[in-house]
Amino acid sequence: MQNLKRDLKENIIYLALWIILFTAPLLGEYIQSSRGEGFAFNWNVVFDIWMVFAAYFVIFLAHNFLVAPILIYRQKGGRYLLLAGVLVALFVAVQCSFHPAGPQGNRPPKPHKPTTEQPYGHHPVPPHDIHPEPPSRLLNGDMLHILVIVLLLGMNLGVKLYFKNERDRKKMQLLKSRNLEQQLDRLRYQLNPHFFMNTLNNIHALIDIDAAKAKTTIVDLSRLMRYVLYEGARTMVPLQRDIAFMNDYLQLMKIRYAEGVRITADFPTDAPEAEIPPMLFISFIENAFKHGISYKHDSFIDIRLNIDESQRICFTCNNSIHHQQTDTHQGGVGLSNIRQRLELLYQDSYTLDIRETAAEYRVRVSIPLKSNPNNASL
C-alpha cells in the first residue's frame, strides 16, 4: 500500500510537469494575440511546439519505464549510460531529418509597405525568401533541444532517485523496528521459575496454618501469573498495572521472608495515566531479594516509585549488602540485559545510577513519563 502511494505521488509530479509544458504554448500564443499588434492566435505555432514536446514525451516515457530502472533498481551504471546515449542519439537523428518550425516559424510576417517609387527592374521578394534560416541557427536549435532532453532525463532520474531513497529509508526503518522487537523479545524479563516453586511451597505450608491467608496468596499468585502471561507480552502497559504487579510480587515474597527482613515499598496510589514497558523494574527487585538477603544478618529492601517535578518516573531500590555476595550482585547477565533493554527502549532519555557502599546497594532509574519509548509503535 505504501509503495502504491509513493508511485502515485511520483506519477502526479510527472503529470503536473507535462501539463505545464503542453499548456505553456497556448498561454504564450494567447498573450501574444492579446497585445493587439497585428498578431492573431496561431494554432500552427502551437501544433509545431507540441510536436517537439511530443518527441520529448516519447523519450521521457522510454527513459522512465525502460532505461532509468536499469540504474535505479539494478545498479547497472554502464548499461544505463549506453541506453540513455542511444535515446539522445535517436532524438538527434530525428531532429536532423526533420526541423519543426520554431515558435515564430509559421507566424505570418508583418505586411510589407510598398513604396511609391520602385527602382527600374526591381521585383518584390516573396515573403518566404526574406529571412532564410541560416545553418548556424538550425544547429543552435538542435543543441537547445539536446540540452532540454538531457535536463529532462536528469530531472526524471532525480525524482526516481528521491522516491527510491524514500522507499529504502522506510524499509530500513521497518527492518530496524523488527530487529528492535526481536531484541526486546529476547531481553524481555521472565520471572525466575524458582520464585513460583517457592511460592507454591509457601502456600502449601499456609494451608494448615492459615487457610484464609493461603487463599489470598493463591489469588495474588494467580493475578501475578496472569500479568506475566498476558501483559508481559505487550509493548506498553499502564503504569498502574505494573505497580499492582510489583505489589503482588512483594506480598508473595514477604511470606517467604517473614522474620529478620524489613521490606518497605512506597508506590503512588493515584498514578498518572501513563504507559511503560511491562516488567521493567521487577528485575531490580528480584536482584535485591536474590543478593541482598541474608539468613544470618538483618537485611532490608526499600523500594520507591514516584513522579518528580520534571515529569519523569523515578524508581529506586535500595537493599542491604553482605560482603560475601558483593561480586555476585555486580556481575551476571541480568544487569547487562537490563542496561541493553533500557538503551533500546529509551536511548539517551533514561538514567541508570548504581551505587554501592559498604552496607548498601542502591539503584536509581529515571525514565520519561510522557514521551513514548522508541518501540511504542511496534
Residues 183-209 have pLDDT tens digits of 666 556 666 777 778 888 888 888 888
Do 60 and 103 fall within a single domain? yes
Do 26 and 152 fall within a single domain? yes
Do 180 and 47 fall within a single domain? yes
DSSP state of 230: I
Do 149 and 236 fall within a single domain? no
The more confidently predicted of residues 265 and 347 is: 265
Q: What value does the CA radius of gyration of the chain take, rounded to a whole number of Å?
A: 40
On average, the pLDDT of the chain sits at 78
Do 347 and 214 fall within a single domain? yes
User: Can you tell me the distance from the alpha carbon of 90 to that of 97, in angstroms, rounded to the nearest whole number?
Assistant: 11
Last residue of a domain, one of 185, 212, 227: 185
Give 138's pLDDT tier (boundaries 50, 70, 90). very low
User: Can you tell me the distance from the alpha carbon of 96 to that of 132, in angstroms, rounded to the nearest whole number?
Assistant: 18
User: For residue 156, which amino acid is it?
Assistant: N
User: Can you tell me the distance from the alpha carbon of 281 to that of 367, in angstroms, rounded to the nearest whole number?
Assistant: 11
Residue 362 β-bridge partners: 318, 355
User: Can you tell me the distance from the alpha carbon of 125 to that of 55, in angstroms, rounded to the nearest whole number?
Assistant: 35
User: Can you tell me the distance from the alpha carbon of 43 to that of 267, in angstroms, rounded to the nearest whole number?
Assistant: 83
Q: Is residue 113 domain-resident?
A: no
Q: Is residue 97 domain-resident?
A: yes
* Percent over 70 (pLDDT), the chain: 75
User: Can you tell me the distance from the alpha carbon of 375 to that of 378, in angstroms, rounded to the nearest whole number?
Assistant: 5
Last residue of a domain, one of 150, 185, 220: 185
Give 132's pLDDT tier (boundaries 50, 70, 90). low
**Parent domain of 60:** 2-107+131-185
Q: Is residue 254 domain-resident?
A: yes
Sequence-distant contacts of 67-70: CB under 8 A, at least 24 apart = 68/156, 68/157, 68/160
**How many structural domains is the chain composed of?**
2
Min mean pLDDT across 20-24, 138-142, 266-270, 300-304 is at 138-142
Q: What angle do CA 159, 161, 165 make, to 5 degrees?
A: 120
User: Can you tell me the distance from the alpha carbon of 362 to that of 321, in angstroms, rounded to the nearest whole number?
Assistant: 10
